[in-house]
Structure 1
Amino acid sequence: MKHYERVEKVRLLVVDDDPPIADLVATVARYEGWDAVTAYRGEEALRLAAEFRPDIVVLDLMLPDIDGFGVLDRLRRSGTMVPVVFLTARDGVADRVAGLTRGGDDYLIKPFAVEELMARLRTVLRRSTGPGFQRSVLKVADLTMDEDTREVRRGDRLLTLTPTEYEVLRYLMRKSPTVLTKAQILDHVWEYGFGGRSNVVELVVSRLRRKLDDSGPPLIHTVRGFGYVIRQAAE
């Protein structure tokens, strides 16, 4: 069985004048189960903030009309205290200090890792909403994955996984009980440059099985001629 402890979706507003970056962040957030909308200009961001009422905002500084500081100032003057995480190429100390002292909650420099950005967003959300913000947890049989802390446990035992093992396992758990092809796993976890190299999926799945099966019955099953699925074996 799979479940999420968070009942309501987090609403994210991504503001960046570079559409590929804004769309990438929004797509990853949606994959995490969040609602996400994008704005490419400051005025558009202010309109969406009033209509969409986001729980958190990712905000670039260099926008074509109002800069990020101006957007933040107007948000605060409107009375909203929505958390804001700056995502910008401006890496000067003065900009960082200004971003935080003018009401920003965090400041991340481009180029950036999307995983780090999502981790920072979760941290800001927990800090701003307090203990009411629930973690996102996946569960299949006695296997649990906390997507916020990235802890994976089989029963009471904490598992040590590589980043790639973690992403493959998370994809299998998110889609359980759907059977996934090797091509689907390749495209999702490795994205580009691994076309046709299905053996890398076999190797990672083999390592995962060794780590998971030490603590209980097998959970990752091979569907011959198709792919893999994670589920509790039928008794």
Structure 2
Amino acid sequence: MTEKGLVLVVEDERSIADLVRLYLQRDGFGCHIEHDGLAGIAAAQRLRPVACILDISLPGIDGTEICRRLRAAGDWTPVIFLTARDDEVDRIVGLELGADDYVTKPFSPRELVARLKAVLRRSGTTTEPDRSRALGGVHLDPSTRVVTVDGTPVVLTATEFDLLSHLMTRPGRVFSREELLSAVWGYASHAGTRTVDVHVAQVRGKLGEAGTIIRTVRGVGYAAG
């Protein structure tokens, strides 16, 4: 059964790749596996998967370079990074490249599939009311998932869009990092709050001067407006 779409997995450790394939197929996803970076980028461009799960360390080119090339080509297919390295630099670099999530080895295959489904929900159609939101020159349309600043479109990842949308839903309301992790990522107990800080910085950067609509409330979290 592949009714949920094809997922590209680029992982050089064959036992891990096979385990991920097993759990994806159990959940109704198709799975195509490559074991090196150059084959991975070619497969991503050829197969147009619904999502990519990329190991950071790969022969040829690494997972971050695959993501970089996809984004440079205007391909915003959701990306989840896998890595054995758990330091903050890797995490920030990965997210700045436009990745949607980041999982550190060893990991639970069930959790990986759950995160994949959460990312796909964020990148797909939304079930929230089709009420456009506007604040400080930023216009957000949940029905089309389009953000503009003074009429100019801004490209956000699915996660960045949902973070901005959540903040703009209740202007002035201060959300803690833990609340944002739970509402946007859906697995607060498994993610570090630094993830929120990195995504907020990315959204602000993409909004340019209008990024000041997102306020930092020291010791608490963030608010829009």
Q: TM-score range by the shorter chain?
A: 0.5 to 0.7
Identity value in percent: 44
Match of residue 162 from structure 1: none
Match of residue 118 from structure 2: 123
Q: Secondary structure of the residue that 2:125 maps to in structure 1?
A: helix
Match of residue 17 from structure 2: 22
Q: Secondary structure of the residue that 2:53 maps to in structure 1?
A: strand
- Report the CA distance between 1:76 and its aligned residue: 1.1
Q: Structure 1 runs of 4+ off > 6 angstroms?
A: none
1:65 to 60, 67, 74: 60
**Structure 2 unaligned spans of 5+:** 128-225
Q: Secondary structure of the residue that 1:38 maps to in structure 2?
A: strand
Q: Which one-letter code corresponds to 2:48 in the other structure?
A: R
Match of residue 39 from structure 1: 34
Match of residue 81 from structure 2: 86
**2:102 corresponds to 1:107:** yes
TM-score, normalising length: structure 2: 0.54
In structure 2, distance between residues paired with 1:95 and 1:23: 25
- Report the CA distance between 1:36 and its aligned residue: 0.6
Q: Secondary structure of the residue that 2:124 maps to in structure 1?
A: helix
CA contact (8 A) 2:17 2:33 kept: yes
In structure 2, distance between residues paired with 1:102 and 1:96: 10
Q: Secondary structure of the residue that 2:110 maps to in structure 1?
A: helix
Q: Which one-letter code corresponds to 2:20 in the other structure?
A: V
1:49 to 41, 44, 47: 44
Q: How many residues align?
A: 127
CA contact (8 A) 2:3 2:28 kept: no
TM-align CA RMSD: 1.7
In structure 2, distance between residues paired with 1:60 and 1:69: 8
In structure 2, distance between residues paired with 1:51 and 1:81: 15
**2:100 corresponds to 1:98:** no
- Report the CA distance between 1:130 and its aligned residue: 2.6
In structure 2, distance between residues paired with 1:51 and 1:20: 25
- Report the CA distance between 1:50 and its aligned residue: 1.5
In structure 1, distance between residues paired with 2:38 and 2:105: 23
**Structure 1 unaligned spans of 5+:** 133-235
